[in-house]
């Protein structure tokens, strides 16, 4: 099998598509990367599907699925052009798609990621593996987080207990014990960047709070923080996962309306909420760990990283760049790796993380123009 794979990742923040070209011949190697914009009109459609009911939701879903598939294909084609790599050299594309609804605790449980993989395969000519989460849900799991299996393959160390912290729209941790016989565990800790991003977009008309600069002009409101921390999700035991269905501006406004708070103070409080809930999860569920490897967009938020260090004073906290992969590209690499797992007939989930009944081969395979290459 060719060992070049493309990974496509669009997370809860919906701030763009992360695209990577990776080589898995020996150790995973990042060969090229690209951040692909999501047009504003498409972004609006995705947010609408993720947070609201629409009178024409089925039509909106069908159209957006196709349009986002075209955008994902364009992202992959752009990356190959930048890297000077022909599509014939790529074994497969692993596409996470965009989660528009996630209800693993519903009865029946379900989750939905869109970005039509048939369109990706057709426009790129490359076999595309997608829809990774639903098989895990069908097996009784949360369908998330799935990246811990990749974290284990890349970041586990035989002498050190580690936590990999991904701060995307939501934040999640992977607990990597030094003992390779011990189970790898992990879960979503709660909001990562999503509330901070939505709040700064609402009040400052910016997509994100660079380095936490706006939050730094405010003061954490302890009363509001304690109200936010009272949400039952934070005390629920793992396995657990979450998304915009739970943590969104409506959720936030439900707490703020009781006591008006200055916008910059809200931003400071939201930064503290992310840091505090992540730290609490690590201290409660990984007490032996003293190394935290941070990836995702939140790794670039200086204030957030400072607050994490304040909450975890005995921990060495560094981004994954210090361990070989820049923090922006870890998740996209994970889905390239998951596509490879699928084509090799190997499982991609960790039951101890998701709560599934067992290991499962994840994803659906959509052959490229030349069929499947082995």
* 173 and 286 together in one domain: yes
* 98 and 173 together in one domain: no
Tell me which long-range contacts 204-207 makes (C-beta under 8 A, separation of at least 24): 207/15
Q: Is residue 132 part of a domain?
A: yes
Residues 126-149: b if buried by 16+ CB within 10 A, e if exposed? bbbbbbbbbbbbebebbbbbbbbb
* 157 and 295 together in one domain: yes
Quote the CA–CA distance of 117 and 123 in Å, as a whole number.
10
Quote the CA–CA distance of 19 and 33 in Å, as a whole number.
6
The dihedral formed by the CA atoms of 249, 234, 237 and 349, expressed in degrees to the nearest 10: 50
* 261 and 281 together in one domain: yes
Residue 54 has a pLDDT of 63
Residue 26 — φ and ψ, nearest 5°?
Answer: -130, -95
Residue 374 has a pLDDT of 54
Residue 55 has a pLDDT of 63
* 216 and 317 together in one domain: yes
Residues in contact with 236: Cβ distance below 8 Å, sequence separation at least 6, in sequence order: none
Quote the CA–CA distance of 56 and 43 in Å, as a whole number.
17
* 254 and 320 together in one domain: yes
Among 92, 133, 141, 112, CA closest to 365 = 92
* 152 and 133 together in one domain: no
* 119 and 61 together in one domain: yes
The DSSP secondary-structure symbol of 158 reads T
Quote the CA–CA distance of 300 and 210 in Å, as a whole number.
8
As for how many domains the chain has, the answer is 2
* 194 and 258 together in one domain: yes
Among 128, 121, 115, CA closest to 65 = 115
pLDDT digits (tens, 9 = 90+) for 42-94: 999 998 998 766 667 899 999 999 999 999 999 999 999 999 999 999 999 99
Q: Is residue 229 part of a domain?
A: yes
Strands 316-319 and 291-295: parallel
* 240 and 110 together in one domain: no
Helices (H), 23-101: 40-51, 57-83
Tens place of pLDDT per residue across the chain (374 aa): 678 999 999 998 888 999 999 999 888 999 999 999 999 999 999 989 987 666 678 999 999 999 999 999 999 999 999 999 999 999 999 999 999 999 999 999 999 999 999 999 999 999 999 999 999 999 999 999 999 999 999 999 999 999 999 999 999 999 999 999 999 999 999 999 999 999 999 999 998 999 999 999 999 999 999 999 999 999 999 999 999 989 999 999 999 987 789 999 999 999 999 999 999 999 999 999 999 999 999 999 999 999 999 999 999 999 999 999 999 999 999 999 999 999 999 999 999 999 999 999 999 999 999 877 65
pLDDT digits (tens, 9 = 90+) for 115-163: 999 999 999 999 999 999 999 999 999 999 999 999 999 999 999 999 9
Residue 51 has a pLDDT of 78
Q: Is 247 within 8 Å of 229 (Cβ atoms)?
A: no
* 118 and 227 together in one domain: no
Q: How many CA atoms lie within 13 A of 335 on its CB side?
A: 29
Q: Is residue 374 part of a domain?
A: no
Go through the chain and tell me how many residues it has: 374
Q: Is residue 299 part of a domain?
A: yes
Quote the CA–CA distance of 340 and 344 in Å, as a whole number.
6
Q: Is 6 within 8 Å of 30 (Cβ atoms)?
A: no
* 55 and 131 together in one domain: yes
Q: Is residue 372 part of a domain?
A: no
What is the domain range of residue 25? 4-143+329-366
Q: Is residue 41 part of a domain?
A: yes
Q: Is residue 373 part of a domain?
A: no
Residue 371 has a pLDDT of 76
Q: Is 284 within 8 Å of 236 (Cβ atoms)?
A: no
Quote the CA–CA distance of 25 and 34 in Å, as a whole number.
21
Q: Is residue 371 part of a domain?
A: no
Quote the CA–CA distance of 59 and 57 in Å, as a whole number.
5
Looking at residue 18, which CATH number applies to its domain? Answer: 3.30.420.40
Quote the CA–CA distance of 367 and 292 in Å, as a whole number.
39
């Amino acid at each position: 099998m060719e060992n070049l794979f493309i990974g496509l990742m669009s997370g809860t923040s919906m701030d763009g598509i992360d695209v990577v070209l990776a080589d898995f011949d020996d150790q995973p190697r990042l060969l090229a990367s690209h951040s692909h914009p999501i047009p504003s009109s498409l972004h609006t459609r995705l947010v609408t599907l993720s947070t609201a009911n629409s009178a024409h939701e089925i039509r909106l879903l069908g159209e957006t699925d196709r349009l986002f598939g075209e955008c994902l294909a364009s992202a992959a084609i752009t990356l190959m052009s930048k890297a000077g790599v022909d599509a014939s050299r790529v074994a497969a594309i692993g596409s996470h798609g965009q989660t528009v609804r996630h209800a693993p605790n519903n009865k029946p449980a379900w989750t939905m990621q869109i970005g039509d993989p048939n369109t990706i395969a057709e426009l790129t000519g490359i076999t595309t593996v997608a829809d990774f989460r639903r098989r895990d849900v069908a097996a009784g799991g949360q369908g998330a987080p799935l990246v811990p299996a990749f974290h284990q393959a890349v970041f586990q160390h035989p002498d050190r207990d580690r936590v990999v912290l991904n701060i995307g729209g939501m934040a999640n941790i992977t607990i990597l014990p030094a003992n390779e016989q011990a189970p790898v565990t992990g879960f979503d800790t709660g909001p990562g960047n999503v509330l901070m991003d939505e709040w700064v977009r609402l009040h400052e008309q910016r997509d994100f709070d660079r380095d936490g600069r706006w939050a730094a002009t405010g003061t954490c409101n302890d009363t509001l923080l304690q109200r936010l921390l009272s949400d039952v999700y934070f005390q629920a035991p793992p396995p657990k996962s979450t998304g915009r269905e739970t943590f969104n501006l409506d959720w936030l406004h439900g707490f703020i309306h009781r006591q008006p708070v200055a916008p910059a103070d809200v931003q400071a409080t939201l930064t503290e909420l992310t840091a505090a809930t992540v730290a609490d999860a690590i201290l409660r569920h990984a007490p032996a760990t003293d190394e935290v490897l941070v990836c995702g967009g939140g790794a670039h938020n200086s204030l957030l990283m400072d607050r994490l260090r304040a909450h975890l004073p005995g921990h060495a906290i560094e981004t994954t760049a210090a361990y070989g992969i820049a923090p922006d590209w870890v998740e996209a690499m994970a889905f390239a790796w998951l596509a490879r797992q699928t084509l090799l007939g190997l499982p991609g989930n960790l039951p101890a993380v998701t709560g599934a009944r067992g290991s499962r081969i994840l994803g659906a395979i959509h052959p490229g123009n030349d069929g499947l290459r082995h």
